[in-house]
Structure formats: C-alpha cells, structure tokens
Amino acid sequence: MGVPFTIEVAAVDENEDRDHDPRTLVSGNAALKADAVSHFHPQAWVLGADTTVFVDDTVLNKPRDQEEARQMLRDLSGRAHSVFTGLALRGLNEGVAINRGVESKVVFRTLTEEIIETYLSRVHTLDKAGGYAIQEEGELIVERYEGSLTNIIGLPVDETKQILTEVGLCS
C-alpha cells in the first residue's frame, strides 16, 4: 500500500473466551491492541487486528498443542465456518478511532485422519486461529471460500486499505 510501518506487539491480555460472540471478541481485541500501542506512541497511526475462526457457536482460537489442532481440523472437516477479523485504527493526535469487522466463509473438504496427519506434518498450526493456514497446503483441506482471502490469511488487505485511505494515509 506504500505506507511505511513498524510492528510492535501490544502487551495486552487478549480475550479468548470461546463462548463469546466472535465479532465482539475480535473487535475488542483489535481495539485493545491499538489502544495499548497508541498510549505509548500518541503521535503515530496505529492499526490493531485480531482474527478468529467460528463454528458451531464456538470460537476456535490458536490451538494450545498438536492434539487440539488435530481436533480443530476434525471439527472443521466437511463443514463451513466463518473467519472474523477486527480492525482498529487509532490516531490519537488526530482524534481518530475507527473500528471495522470483516467476515469470510470457508468450506473444508472431508478430511481423513491421513490427510489431517499429512497437513499437520507440513504446516506449523499452533499460531493459527482454527489450527490451519489456508495459504499453506490449503489445497489439502479447503474446498472453497467466499469473501476476502487475505482476511482468512489474517489481515484483510482491501478493508485495511479502505480505512487508511479514509484518513489520508494512502490513495
């Protein structure tokens, strides 16, 4: 997008309540991150984001271990689920606080135990919401998706550009 940036990890405790509404969860976490970093850099534009997977009225965050990742893949097998990302842009000196949400749908192939084990042997899944990464060996597990692919990967590029354009940071 042509906007120079640095990455700063927000020192916050994210809400990971699996029974929470996923839209509210990611929106709150994105705002929490952006607000925390803005506090230390009030002159900067700060973008916070958070992504989660939602199926069966349950939030699937990052798995704790390989067994939980395995179970997440089993739970998603042959089914559709949603991927939600919350975006929060802060410009304290400008008095700007923008919050947006993006949803994409993903349909998984029916996965055998062999496919699950192959996938887990090829992809590090412990830092991925839902225990998978569509951009890594996605053809093994994903049948199709609807909406923003970059949202499923983790940061919805078009929506991010739209927000940055609104405040004059890119065109």
Residue listed under structure tokens 């809400």: 15
Does the annotation mark 50 as catalytic? yes
Structure tokens belonging to residue 29? 């976490």
Pairing of the two strands 58-60 and 96-108: unpaired
Annotated active-site residue in 17, 19, 21, 50: 50
CA distance 165 to 171: 5
Structure tokens belonging to residue 110? 């029916």
Residue positions annotated with a catalytic role: 50
